[in-house]
Amino acid sequence: MRCATLRTVAQAVGKRVLLTMSGKPKLEKTMPDPFDSDYVNLTSPAVSHYAVVPSDGADLPVRPRAIYVNASGTAALRDNAGEVITYELTAGAILSIRPVRVLATGTTAQLVAWY
């Protein structure tokens, strides 16, 4: 019952309940997200990202909805059909392609995957 009461109080003040090593509750402020329950699809903003590590032998860990170019260079991208095309990229560009792999051979740009 104590945990349920703490959870209710925390929700009312916009905080999250954490338990410390001593078992005593601690409130942590969380950012409200009015879009948390919205359906995520390809036209909605990305909800997460990761630095792309190019590899000739492994696919990306998560297929992104877009690629952000963090530093200029080239990128060899493989699509779902196995087609590889190398792009000349400038920093700040956003590629609206969903590659399954970014090959190390032919890639010099630093990329960030958005999904």
Same domain, 57 and 15: no
CA distance 36 to 21: 30
pLDDT of residue 44: 85
Q: Is residue 39 part of a domain?
A: no
pTM value? Answer: 0.69
The number of domains in the chain is 2
Same domain, 58 and 21: no
Q: Domain residues for 14?
A: 1-33
Whole-number CA gyration radius for the chain: 21
- List Cβ neighbours of 64 (8 Å cut-off, separation of 6 or more): 46, 98, 99, 113, 114, 115
pLDDT of residue 13: 47
Q: Is residue 43 part of a domain?
A: no
Same domain, 57 and 81: yes
pLDDT of residue 43: 83
Other Cβ atoms closer than 10 A to 69: 19
Which residues of the chain fall below pLDDT 50? Answer: 1-14
